[in-house]
């Protein structure tokens, strides 16, 4: 199950992250603006904002395996049809269909992990499947311009090539994945794939839920903006397109170990909050420094962004299971993803408008630095969920 979830994550993000390396080609051939290319990149995230909560309810109705399998089939169909698009309008339409499948899958992967794994292993399991997301993003950024586009010979051929992982992932999902068995907790209540949560509306009043959603919003604001516009940033500084795409992909490769390493170190030391606000401060420094850094320093710049966004992403997803009551996790996950991925929609689109207006990304980088400072404040404000804090709490209760 976890291997198939990894492959689904890989297939979800390859078709998105193949756009930034060839953004200048799309702009020239389809005669559209930077903002239009930014919209094409972030459109699946826009659909996710709308459909995340209904997708969680769909999984309650059909079962998680079926819901994710249907989403994978829709995603594969939309991705394949992008390879037959002859205009920006049709490309946008089929990207929307791809986004529907993407949106059905994404909210239910954390839920599936929560059903299959005990709570103490959820963070590690989340880290495993999110490496599929990072690997897909890194490979797509690295090889689309130098290898895939010349091989495919066109924008449409490139999109068709990157639909292959989605087709394979869909087939393997339906063949191999099973819903977890029905089990009962010590109180005799059903849990597992056949459990349908009926949370009260009180989770909307939960300060913790809104803090998690804000952290995810800011993480996605940075992740998608850096993913979409790092190649353009490096090219504005004088890098050739191939080198610009390679530097952008370096963020994904550094993220891979950080996805495991930061949650593991956090578990070992028993605290989480310093990793959240510390990463945010590093991200603010990286954002503002990027205005002045030359191309050779793009490598350490991407490493800093990777440490900050990659290491914290699985920790934020794990917060859903650590900070919210069990009966609310399914619906709350959809709500948090809907709110959080607004950041992934707004960031690339606003950065595109800034480039169209100023012919520079400097203002966007200033904005990203300010967003990182807000993220640091949230990191200071959330409750500590680490092992050390919980142990201290238990000792206090004993006294």
Residue 190 in any domain: the answer is no
Query: In the prediction, which pLDDT does 122 show?
Result: 66
d(Cα 183, Cα 64) in Å, to the nearest integer? 16
CA–CA dist 156, 153 (Å, integer): 8
Query: What's residue 2's pLDDT?
Result: 83
**Quick check: is 337 in a domain?**
yes
The answer to whether residue 194 sits within a structural domain is: no
R_g (Cα) of the chain, nearest Å = 20
Task: Please report the pLDDT score of residue 254 as a whole number.
Answer: 87
Q: What is the pLDDT of residue 315?
A: 83
Pair 106, 12: CB distance under 8 Å: yes
Does residue 217 lie in a domain region? yes
164 φ/ψ sector (left φ>0, alpha ψ -120 to 50, else beta): alpha
Residue among 315, 319, 288 at smallest CA distance from 304: 288
Instruction: Return the CATH number at 326.
Output: 1.20.1250.20
β-pair partners for 366: none
d(CA 209, CA 159): 37
Residues of the chain with pLDDT under 70: 114, 119-124, 180-204, 321-331, 387-399
At residue 190, the pLDDT reads 37
Domain-embedded: residue 380? yes
- What CA–CA distance (Å, rounded) separates 136 from 8? 10
Question: Domain containing 51: what range?
Answer: 2-179+205-398
pLDDT given for residue 367 in this prediction: 95
Residue 390 is predicted with a pLDDT of 52
Residue 203 has a pLDDT of 59
CB 22 within 8 A of CB 235: no
Q: Is residue 148 part of a domain?
A: yes
Whole-number pLDDT of residue 149: 92
**317 CB-side CA count, 13 A:** 29
Number of domains in the chain: 1
Q: Is residue 188 part of a domain?
A: no
């Amino acid at each position: 199950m976890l291997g198939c979830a990894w492959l689904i994550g890989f297939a979800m993000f390859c078709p998105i992250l193949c756009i930034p390396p060839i953004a200048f080609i799309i702009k020239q051939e389809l005669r559209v603006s930077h903002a239009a290319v930014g919209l094409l990149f972030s459109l699946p995230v826009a659909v996710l904002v709308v459909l995340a909560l209904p997708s969680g309810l769909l999984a309650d109705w059909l079962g998680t395996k079926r819901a994710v399998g249907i989403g994978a089939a829709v995603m594969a169909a939309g991705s394949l049809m992008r390879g037959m698009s002859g205009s920006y309008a049709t490309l946008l339409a089929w990207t929307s269909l791809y986004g529907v499948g993407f949106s059905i899958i994404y909210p239910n992967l954390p839920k599936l992990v929560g059903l299959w794994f005990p709570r103490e292993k959820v963070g590690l399991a989340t880290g495993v499947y999110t490496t599929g997301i990072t690997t897909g993003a890194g490979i797509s950024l690295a090889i689309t311009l130098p290898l895939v586009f010349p091989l495919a010979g066109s924008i449409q051929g490139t999109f068709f090539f990157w639909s292959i992982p989605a087709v394979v992932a869909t087939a393997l999902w339906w063949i191999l994945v099973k819903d977890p068995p029905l089990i009962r907790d010590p109180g005799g209540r059903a849990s597992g794939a056949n459990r349908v949560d009926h949370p009260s509306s009180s989770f909307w009043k939960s300060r913790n839920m809104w803090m998690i959603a804000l952290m995810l919003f800011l993480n996605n604001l940075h992740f998608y903006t850096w993913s979409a516009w790092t190649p353009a940033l490096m090219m504005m500084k004088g890098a050739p397109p191939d080198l610009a795409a390679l530097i952008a992909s370096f963020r994904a490769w550094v993220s891979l170990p950080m996805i495991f390493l930061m949650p593991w170190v956090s578990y070992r030391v028993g605290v989480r909050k310093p990793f959240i606000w510390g990463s945010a401060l590093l991200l603010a420094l990286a954002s503002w420094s990027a205005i002045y850094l030359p191309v050779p320093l793009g490598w350490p710049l991407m490493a800093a962004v990777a440490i900050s966004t990659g290491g914290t992403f699985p920790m934020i997803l794990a917060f859903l299971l650590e900070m919210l009551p069990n009966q609310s996790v399914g619906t709350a996950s959809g709500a948090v993803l809907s709110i959080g991925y607004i950041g992934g929609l707004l960031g690339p689109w606003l950065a595109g408008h800034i480039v169209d207006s100023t012919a520079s990304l400097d203002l966007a980088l200033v904005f990203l630095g300010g967003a990182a400072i807000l993220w640091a404040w949230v990191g200071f404000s959330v409750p500590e969920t680490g092992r050390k804090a919980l142990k201290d709490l238990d000792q206090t209760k004993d006294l």
